[in-house]
Amino acid sequence: MTTLIDLFKRLSRALGLDTADSFPPGHVHARTRWNAAYFDIASDVKPDDMERRICDAIANTPLVFAHITNPTPRMQRALFSVLEQRLRLNHQREAAQLAALLIGAYRSPHIVEAMPGLKAAIAATAHDEAPARIRAVLEFMAQRDAPFDVIDMK
């Protein structure tokens, strides 16, 4: 019976009837996970397209970033872009929410840093309270020459 169930699972995944919640095994970002309820991505979708769809979701609804574990650098840059927009429009509360999401994502020791120095800036505030940590992250990003002008080569 278990063999039949395993075969059915493989067939379902191959036909795209399953909803993906991670990149396929062996992928460079195999540790990246997301809540499939927030990202309706069929399991037969190519990894680059999975990542693109998640980045599009972040651009449209940035709070979904909270439902991603070990976000890829590209996903982080999508959040940076929204954060920059919120800062330009002087939406401080929304920018603070997004900075808090970054701090949460960087709790993982396996995250790949998208902005050099961000991991160290977040780690330096590990014993501070949330508002101080958020201010430190926003100040770090403001000190960068062009923190959000990263060209995505994918």
Q: 19-29, pLDDT tens digit by residue?
A: 888 998 889 99
* Conformation bin of residue 111: beta by default, left when phi > 0, alpha when psi is -120 to 50: beta
User: What is the pTM assigned to this prediction?
Assistant: 0.83
Buried b (16+ CB within 10 A) or exposed e, 79-94: bbbbbbbbbeeeeeeb
Asked if 122 and 133 touch (Cβ cutoff 8 Å), the reply is: yes
1-59 residue pLDDT tens: 778 776 776 777 667 667 888 998 889 999 999 999 999 898 888 999 999 999 999 99
DSSP label at 34?
A: E
Whether residue 31 lies inside any domain: the answer is: yes
The domain total for the chain is 1
Q: Residue 118: give the domain boundaries.
A: 14-143
Whether residue 57 lies inside any domain: the answer is: yes
